[in-house]
Amino acid sequence: MRLKSAREDFEANTLGAVPGLLGRLSYVGGLQDGNGTYDHWGLARVHGDAAAQDAIRASHRILLSEILKRPLAVLLKDVPASCVNEHLTEMEFLASLTQSLPKPVSRAALAHLRSVLSALLALAESRNNANLRGAAQLPQPARESRPPAGI
């Protein structure tokens, strides 16, 4: 007797190991072929292919919905953690996320995600530029004041 459904198993054991909400979207998108079929050998072996497909598809849609509900400030904080395992810069990672959508996806959800990603790209770029400017303008260390000679 199984204690967890295929979706519970996938979300707890697989997605639970992937850092960040955006990272999870990227991971699940990578499991999908160009036609909307998912490939996860372990989940299919334990729960059967049909249950695995349904579970991953449902999780993928829930992830997209969760991302579209989150404030930009929360998503911006999620970006560094999400792209840790991707071996991409934050900009490259954000640009790649439009390829990580469930299929089919509504035109409204696609437009919404594109606007969110565009805003995140602009905010991340602005943050990175501010960090570079700040690093280039490090204050000079203060000189130690010395007591006058003879004291």
100, part of any domain? yes
130, part of any domain? yes
Q: Is the dihedral of CA 87, 93, 96, 100 positive or negative?
A: positive
At 73, which helix (H) or strand (E)? helix 72-82
pTM, two decimal places: 0.82
pLDDT tens string 65-120: 999 999 999 999 999 999 888 889 999 999 999 899 999 999 999 999 999 999 99
| Domain extent at residue 32 | 6-135
58, part of any domain? yes
Chain CA centroid to CA 40, Å: 20
